[in-house]
Structure 1
Amino acid sequence: MTTALVLIILVLAAVAVVRQLGANHRRVTAWPALDDARDRDAARVRGDLAATRPAPVRGLARPRVVTGEVTGRRTAPPAAHAA
């Protein structure tokens, strides 16, 4: 009787360990968008409002750098301003 209880406890512990390892593996290898959403949700819970803004999508809006300032609109090159 005691042996059966010990075996049952060992089997349940092994199942819990395998499930936890599987959960960790899925979290590491999940899609980056899901990781970003999870990070934003965690930041929202912490109250970190700056981290809850969605990240900009690469390749859609590339701001130009003019005289060291990043702007979202097209401007003339710095030489034209000096003239």
Structure 2
Amino acid sequence: MGHVVIDVMLKPEILDPQGQAVNGALPRLGFEQFTDVRQGKRFVLTVDGEVTDEHLAAAAEAAEKLLSNPVIEDVVSVRAQDPDQ
């Protein structure tokens, strides 16, 4: 079985309250090296056999039409998952 991973992020101009909350909490927990946090979402699609270019093209189309809201989100990556992960 193969897996296609799709990452979707809010557009940079869209307010990200969850990212802001995490960004505010990090220094309180001793993580001072980070300057910003943006939250996103990940989808993992399973296919029979190895992931092909056709699978990736179909996943990219599904990401644009169904898995993201193009008004406020960008599809930032569509890729085959490393079999070791």
Measured against the shorter chain, the TM-score band is under 0.3
Flag the structure with larger Rg. Answer: 1
Using structure 2 for the length normalisation, give the TM-score: 0.26
The structure with more helix, counted as a fraction of residues: 1
